[in-house]
Amino acid sequence: MVKSEIKRNVSNDRASTILVSNPNLSPQSTRREVMKAIDPAAQGIKIRAMRTKGKEGVVLATASQEDNVKIQSNVQLRNAGFTVQESMGDNPRLRVHGVQAELAPEEFARAAFAQNFQGKWTESMFRASFKPLFKTGKRDLDTVIWVVETSPEMRRAVLNQGRLYIKWDSCWVADFVRVSRCFKCQAFDHVAKFCRGVEICKHCAAEGHKEEACPAKNEPPKCSNCRRAKEDDGHAVTSENCPAYNWAVRKRLRRTNYGKEAEQQGTQQPPTPCPRNCDSAGNAKRDREEASPQGPSEKRVISDLDRPEPPVTPRRRSEGTEIAWKELCRHCFKYGHTTSQCLSLVAACEHCGLEGHKVETCPNRGSSTRCVQCIRLKLKKDATKHSVLTQEICPAYIMHIKLVNK
């Protein structure tokens, strides 16, 4: 079960993860000093992974609670001015769709409070747990997607409400799970400014040149992250279906603190990453043929969080995967996940079949309905003239179901 695996990983990681911090040191020197103070071999400590968590310090994932106690009672660390505490993981992020582009962060946050949480939260509590990070979405639209860092409690409150009223708009909200990719070395989870890797070509995956100077420009793209993980590298490093990218997303989910309640009761669970290749019937087929018989192994789950790891491939249906193959997402209108699990930033329109807007704001309401699934499959125009929701006559749906049931 994909969902419960992620849930289990979240709690596993939480139970044996600690944060070592010293506000006077830079992330790099924190790391160096921690490695000086702790001697895993001498003290018999099992370290699964170490990573810097921005200015907050260094996160150590250990094999057990026992290892944590050893680190927490390390005298050298204390004497060097470090504080050691259980790490709660990263705060979750939400995306708020359809916010007027010209709103300043301050205005956006004030409206989010006044129109949605006044009387339920105090303003200072709200502002401490709702931090606008950045805007994203397609350029030259008059609305944007705001990405917000929230506390686990705030995330739950916002998702329960399903939307945020911002000025004159009712804005759709969902989890935001994206992993940044470095423009220099193409690896995940850092940006070029902090890159310690070598220059890798975005197009051909070779070292030592930029994409603009690529000698293999006319050949199909190669993915350097999948090559490093010894997976099939025959796709662009930017592909949404990249196994390495999807693995990085899962890793991000494990590191995120969705709150105790989410772990215990299963309410507002961490989002499930899109199963790869859920975009069209053809891709789903290829995926099923390649699917490996084993699921993610324990070894993979606990390997070094700082290194790219071999990605997980979804298991075959017959072996008990819970991927919702037949589910049609009402946000991106792709198969294989529910609307609440959708990780796509681009909405699709159930009326005109185009991407980038929802039916509520469709500029093509005057013309006839076209099916977004069938447009994606590049069917002839006449074959697309039906609603994506009338699945009994939709060629894309019929093809998809045939492949899923095979």
Residues that bind Zn ion (CB under 5 A): 182, 184-185, 195, 197, 201, 203-204, 214, 223, 226, 242, 244, 329, 331-332, 342, 344, 349, 351-352, 362, 364, 371, 373-374, 394, 396
Alpha helices by DSSP H, listed for 162-316, are 224-228, 243-255, 260-265, 281-290, 298-301
Taking a C-beta distance cutoff of 8 angstroms, is the pair 87, 13 a contact?
A: no
Q: Are strands 58-62 and 93-100 parallel, antiparallel or unpaired?
A: unpaired
132 or 336: whose CB is closer to Zn ion? 336
255 or 386: whose CB is closer to Zn ion? 386
Going by the DSSP 8-state scheme, the letter that residue 389 receives in this structure is: T
Q: 89: Cβ–Cβ under 8 A, 6 or more apart, which residues?
A: 10, 13, 14, 17, 255, 256, 257
Q: How many CA atoms lie within 13 A of 205 on its CB side?
A: 19
46 or 358: whose CB is closer to Zn ion? 358
Least distance between Zn ion and beta carbon 57 (Å): 22
Structure tokens at 281: 């019937």
Least distance between Zn ion and beta carbon 275 (Å): 11
Least distance between Zn ion and beta carbon 366 (Å): 11
Least distance between Zn ion and beta carbon 162 (Å): 16
Going by the DSSP 8-state scheme, the letter that residue 293 receives in this structure is: S
Least distance between Zn ion and beta carbon 337 (Å): 6
6 or 109: whose CB is closer to Zn ion? 6
Instruction: Output the CA angle 197-201-207, nearest 5 degrees.
Output: 55
Alpha-carbon gap, residue 78 to 62, rounded angstroms: 19
Least distance between Zn ion and beta carbon 399 (Å): 9
Least distance between Zn ion and beta carbon 9 (Å): 21
77 or 399: whose CB is closer to Zn ion? 399
Least distance between Zn ion and beta carbon 199 (Å): 9
Structure tokens at 193: 């400014």
33 or 231: whose CB is closer to Zn ion? 231
94 or 242: whose CB is closer to Zn ion? 242
Distances (CA, A) of 184 to 121, 208, 238: 43, 10, 13
> In which residue are the tokens 């359809």 written?
98
Structure tokens at 306: 């700082």
N- to C-terminal Cα separation, the chain? 20
109 or 399: whose CB is closer to Zn ion? 399
Q: 41: Cβ–Cβ under 8 A, 6 or more apart, which residues?
A: none
